[in-house]
Every structure is written in C-alpha cells, then in structure tokens.
C-alpha cells in the first residue's frame, strides 16, 4: 500500500494502490486435508452404524428370548386348561352332579324318546 500525504490536513492517508490481495490457488495440502476429513467422517459413520446394528441384534435377541419364554408359559397354561375342560366334560362327573346336586334319576325306558 502506498502512503500519500494530504498537504491540507497534515495527515497520512492510505490509498488503494497496490492493496489488492493475491488469491492463492487451492494447494495439495488443502486437498489432502479435505480428503482426510471425508475419509475420517466415513470411518466414524461406518463405526457408528456397526455399533448400532450390533446393539439392535442384541436387543432383538432379548425380545426373541422373552417371546419364547412367553410361548412356553402359554403352552403350559393351554395344557392345563385342556385337562380342566376334559375333567369338566367327563360323563362320570356330570352324572354325579345330576344325581347328588340336582336330585335327578335315570329315566325309565318308556320315558326315553329317540330323535333321528
């Protein structure tokens, strides 16, 4: 920059002559830095995706395990209920309840009507 004296005011003024800055072309160092940064971001993203996927696999494993446990519990309960149904439908039990609690008797042959 060039200095010029303003004779009327006695001050030094800066002029624009030669004040243009030269623009440096993008060098190899900045290209390498950009490439290294992109590579680093890609590796970090890949690592995060890998960790997330492993966590999902473990979580799904726990869900499958709990679902299998619930299935075994329900299957066992189903067996118990089927046994209870068979017990309640038993002809001997129904006949005993009819005779003892309801005071029923077996019908005589002339009271039986066969429907076809």
pLDDT of residue 112: 92
Residue 38 or residue 107, greater confidence: 38
Number of domains forming the structure of the chain? 1
Residue 77 lies in a domain: yes
Which tokens in the block code for residue 51? 């960790």
Residue 19 lies in a domain: no
2: pLDDT strictly greater than 70: no
pLDDT of residue 25: 60
3-state helix, strand, coil in the chain (%, to 5): 65, 5, 30
DSSP letter (8 states) at residue 18: T
Residue 7 lies in a domain: no
Taking only Cα atoms into account, the Rg of the chain, rounded to an integer number of angstroms, comes to 48
Its domain, for residue 39, covers 27-105
93: nearest Cα among 79, 113, 85: 85
50-92: per-residue pLDDT in tens?
999 999 999 999 999 999 999 999 999 999 999 999 999 999 9
The pTM of the full predicted model, rounded to 2 decimals, is: 0.53
Residue 82 lies in a domain: yes
Strand, helix or coil for residue 21 = coil
3-39: per-residue pLDDT in tens?
555 555 566 666 656 555 665 665 788 889 999 999 9
Residue 17 lies in a domain: no
Residue 34 lies in a domain: yes
């Amino acid at each position: 920059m060039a200095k010029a004296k303003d004779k009327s005011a006695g001050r030094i003024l800066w002029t624009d002559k030669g004040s243009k800055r030269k623009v440096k072309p993008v060098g190899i160092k900045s290209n390498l830095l950009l490439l290294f940064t992109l590579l680093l971001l890609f590796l970090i993203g890949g690592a995060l995706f890998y960790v997330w996927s492993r966590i999902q696999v473990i979580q799904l494993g726990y869900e499958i395990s709990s679902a299998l446990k619930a299935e075994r519990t329900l299957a066992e309960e189903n067996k118990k209920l089927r046994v209870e149904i068979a017990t309640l439908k038993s002809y001997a039990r129904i006949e005993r309840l009819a005779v003892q609690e309801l005071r029923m008797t077996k019908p005589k042959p002339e009271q039986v009507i066969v429907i076809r």
